[in-house]
Amino acid sequence: MASMFALANPKRFMDASAQFLPWLVGAAALALAAGFVLGFLAPPDYQQGDTVKIMFLHVPAAWTAMMAYGLMALTSLFSLVWRHPLADVAAKSAAPLGAIFTVLGLVTGSLWGRPMWGTYWVWDARLTSFLLLLFLYLGYIALWNAIEDEVRAARAASILALVGAVNLPIIEFSVNWHTLHQGESIMRADGPQISTVFLWPLGLSALGYTLLFLALWTVRIRTEIMQRRARSLMLGDHA
């Protein structure tokens, strides 16, 4: 925790992130490359054939999209409780990325659904809750953009993110009423129900997606901080 709060200083964050960003990008590229190559070389599934390989694009995108909302809610909590500007910036920067990973999950899922279920879209639990997740992201982004005052926008968006975080499991549960989507196969008490030839590439691409998200997040936070500095410099000139 101490190191996290040390990094919460924008200046220190800029210095540190300049150091670790190239490593993060490199690691993301490596993990993604390894995951995709292994995934491409994996044998076809006995039921799903080659379409099973969409999994290596789809499942990590969905995980990352949910993780992004979790991180956004967590940084929103920091922003509300400690009123820290860097937490505002972090939460704000996570939202568009999360929305894009959500769209990626929806698109790859629909492309997978076509050969598997015979249709691009079914009003199934996971798909519907993901669509609702996308709307939560869009609402968050729209609220940020609609309020001109930065501090006020940050606090309003933080409240919305936390309300969404409380509501998200309930939405998930309520749409789960009837489902066509396959059951949980990785995080099970009796161990993963998935062959190791699929587990390895899936794990590697999940790692790759996560690192990619963290790298892009860092870039966005840095950009936002620089933008704010530039704006305050320009305001200073006119004052």
Partner 1 sequence: MIGALLWRDLRLATRAGGSAALALAFFAAVATLVPLGIGADLKLLARVAAGVLWVAAVLAALLSLDRLFQADFDDGSLDLIALSPLQLETVSAAKIAAHWLTTGLPLTVLSPLLGTMFGLPVAATWTLALSLLIGTPAVSALGAIGAGLTLSIRRGGLILPLLVLPLLAPAVIFGAAAVQAILDGLSDGALLFLAAFSVAATLLSPFAAAAAVRLNLAG
Residues found near partner 1 in the complex (CB under 8 A): 128, 132, 135-136, 138-139, 142-143, 146-147, 149, 151-152, 155-156, 159-160, 162-164, 166-167, 170-171, 173-175, 177
Q: What minimum distance in Å lies between the beta carbon of 76 and partner 1?
A: 12
Q: What minimum distance in Å lies between the beta carbon of 159 and partner 1?
A: 5
Q: Which residues of 152-171 are buried (b: 16+ CB within 10 A; e: fewer)?
A: ebbbbbbebbbebbeebeee
Q: Which is nearer to partner 1, 152 or 188 (CB)?
A: 152
Q: Which is nearer to partner 1, 53 or 92 (CB)?
A: 92
Q: What minimum distance in Å lies between the beta carbon of 238 and partner 1?
A: 22
Q: Smallest Cα–Cα separation from 198: which of 67, 54, 62?
A: 54
Q: Which is nearer to partner 1, 174 or 223 (CB)?
A: 174
Residue 49 β-bridge partners: 45
* Residue 65 φ/ψ, nearest 5 degrees: -60, -40
**What are the DSSP E strand ranges found in 89-136?**
none
Rg of the chain taking only CA atoms, in angstroms: 20
Q: What minimum distance in Å lies between the beta carbon of 133 and partner 1?
A: 8
Q: Which is nearer to partner 1, 159 or 226 (CB)?
A: 159
Alpha carbons 172 and 125: distance in angstroms, whole number: 8
Tell me which residue has tokens 């995108």.
Answer: 61
Q: Which is nearer to partner 1, 81 or 230 (CB)?
A: 81
Q: What minimum distance in Å lies between the beta carbon of 145 and partner 1?
A: 9
Alpha carbons 129 and 142: distance in angstroms, whole number: 20
